[in-house]
Amino acid sequence: MAKIGWVNIAEKAAFAYPSPRKFIPPKDMNTLSKGFLSCPAMRHYFDDTYMVCSAFSLRLRRVTEGKGFTIRPVYPFTSLATNQVSKLVKIQPESTWRKPERVVLQISTPYLFFSDDPIEIEQMHPTLGDSDSLNWNLIPGRFDIFAWQRALNFAAEWDSLRGDFILRTGDPMYFLRFAGDCKKPNELIEFPMSNELRERLRLFRGIAAVRRGTFGLMAEASRARENIKLME
């Protein structure tokens, strides 16, 4: 069994952030078990999938102002204070969007995953949830959590023509999978923050602002990690 550690690195309100948990597809309500939720292939697809749910409610609206626009939180549907919205939510430059109506945003989340084995984490769009009016798509990603230690962001492409961006407390923000040499199920273990983890975070925090394209640093980071144990 591959062991994967995780830490909630939030400096404030850490208790509000729920622990990652195993995703189990909803039960098939068809009395004959002939609905797609009973399909073995579909259920097997979600084996060893975890989900991270939102700690807060957030509703954003795009408001046109002259030739430009602003993105505003909508109250009372947003549980975050205005100053917290500006800290947590970052709207990416319009020049990076695929289309003028597709707003790209990032929301900081305090989840740090790591392992002493060569394992990659994959971040995916949440599916089969109760929210059927999603007008955003998670921007997926995958990286090596042995070599690279950083907290995960929620990055999404929001189709603002289809209405407000809505995220409710308890809604799945993203799904996670872990891939390594071990074919057995993974074991997720919560760890306290340690000096070693703080140092690893320091090494990689803000690196994208210093160097474009960090993929080439992965092999170097992996070699530097060989004699460092984070799960002891």
For the chain, which residues make up each domain, given as ranges?
2-224
Q: How far apart are CA 7 and CA 139, in angstroms?
A: 22
Residue 132: what pLDDT?
56
How confident is the model over 59-72, as a mean pLDDT? 92
Q: Give residue 31's pLDDT.
A: 67
Residues 73 and 190: their CA atoms lie apart, in Å, by 33
Q: Phi/psi of residue 95, each to 5°?
A: -65, -15
Range in 91-105, 149-163, 209-223 with the lowest mean pLDDT = 209-223
pLDDT > 70: percent of the chain: 95
Question: With 80 as the cut, is the pLDDT of residue 19 above it?
Answer: yes
DSSP structure string for 171-232: -EEEEEEEEES--SPEEEEE----HHHHHHHHHHTTGGGTSS--GGGHHHHHHHTTT--S--
Average pLDDT over every residue of 75-82: 96
* Residue-level length of the chain: 232
- Strand (E) or helix (H) holding 105: strand 102-114
| pLDDT for the residue numbered 133 | 63
Q: Which position has the higher pLDDT, 129 or 102?
A: 102
pLDDT of 131 > 70? The answer is no
Other CB atoms within 10 Å distance of the CB of residue 60: 23
Task: Kindly compute the dihedral angle of the four CA atoms of residues 107, 108, 110, 114, in this order, to the nearest 10 degrees.
Answer: 100
Distance CA 50, CA 23 (A): 5
| 142-201 per-position pLDDT tens digit | 999 999 999 999 999 999 999 999 999 999 999 999 998 767 778 999 999 999 999 999
Residue 26's pLDDT band (cuts 50, 70, 90): confident
d(CA 46, CA 177): 9
Average pLDDT in the 43-69 region? 93
pLDDT in tens, 108-124: 999 999 999 999 999 99
Q: Give the mean pLDDT of the chain.
A: 90
